């Protein structure tokens, strides 16, 4: 019988850190570590987990979570004068989301609704440094999404293989029966 170390979520006390004046930022490592690359989902998970861990649904307002994914990340990188917020003189990186969907419902509190019900796939348009990069399901230039995803999948498998983590790509029932 093979024993595997169990993965578990680690608590990140963002709400307490913010209250203490510590800059907190939010990002994603990607699907290779079994978490979504969807930053809207990451913001939702962060907000909800803070509410659960602190047993306080007010400890992490969605506005703070959005700041963690934007301006606070820029601060961590020392780029807050170039990116992270919409201000004159900064790069114009903008995402426009379609929030008119049945699963989203009423927009009484648009930011809360966006974080709780939105998804990255709701993006209708994205501009990077002022130039349209994505609009209505298609990229403005460069390779197709399918080509990028295919190459990313191949590279992820190569990296996992080289690091000795190839079994992570196999369903657990194959791993469990192989070790018996």
Which tens digits make up the pLDDT trace of 93-103? 999 999 999 98
What distances in angstroms separate CA 51 from CA 11, 28, 41, 66, 78, one per listed residue?
Answer: 12, 20, 15, 15, 29
Whether pLDDT at 116 is above 50: yes
For residue 26 the two structure tokens come to 């939010």
What is the per-residue pLDDT for 86?
A: 93
Which part of the chain is CATH 2.30.40? 14-142
Give the pTM.
0.76
Strands 131-135 and 138-139: antiparallel
pLDDT band at residue 1, thresholds of 50, 70 and 90?
Answer: very low
For residue 69 the two structure tokens come to 């994914």
By mean pLDDT, which of 6-10, 20-24, 108-112 is the weakest?
Answer: 6-10
For residue 180 the two structure tokens come to 């018996």
Q: 14-142 domain in CATH 2.30.40?
A: yes
What is the per-residue pLDDT for 21?
A: 93
Tell me if 101 sits within 8 A of 122, measured CB to CB: yes
């Amino acid at each position: 019988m093979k024993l595997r170390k169990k993965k578990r979520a680690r608590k990140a006390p963002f709400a307490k850190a913010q209250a203490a004046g510590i800059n907190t930022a939010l990002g994603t490592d990607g699907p290779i570590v079994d978490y979504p690359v969807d930053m809207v989902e990451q913001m939702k998970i962060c907000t909800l987990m803070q509410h659960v861990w602190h047993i306080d649904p007010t400890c992490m307002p969605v506005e703070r979570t959005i700041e963690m994914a934007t301006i606070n990340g820029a601060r961590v990188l020392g780029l807050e004068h170039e990116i992270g917020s919409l201000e004159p003189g900064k790069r114009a990186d903008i995402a426009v989301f379609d929030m008119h969907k049945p699963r989203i419902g009423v927009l009484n509190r648009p930011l809360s609704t966006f974080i709780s019900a939105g998804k990255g796939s709701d993006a209708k348009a994205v501009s990077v440094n002022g130039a349209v990069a994505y609009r209505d399901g298609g990229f403005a230039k460069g390779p197709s999404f399918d080509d990028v995803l295919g190459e990313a999948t191949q590279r992820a498998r190569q990296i996992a293989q080289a690091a000795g983590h190839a079994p992570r790509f196999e369903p657990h029932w194959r791993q469990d029966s192989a070790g018996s």
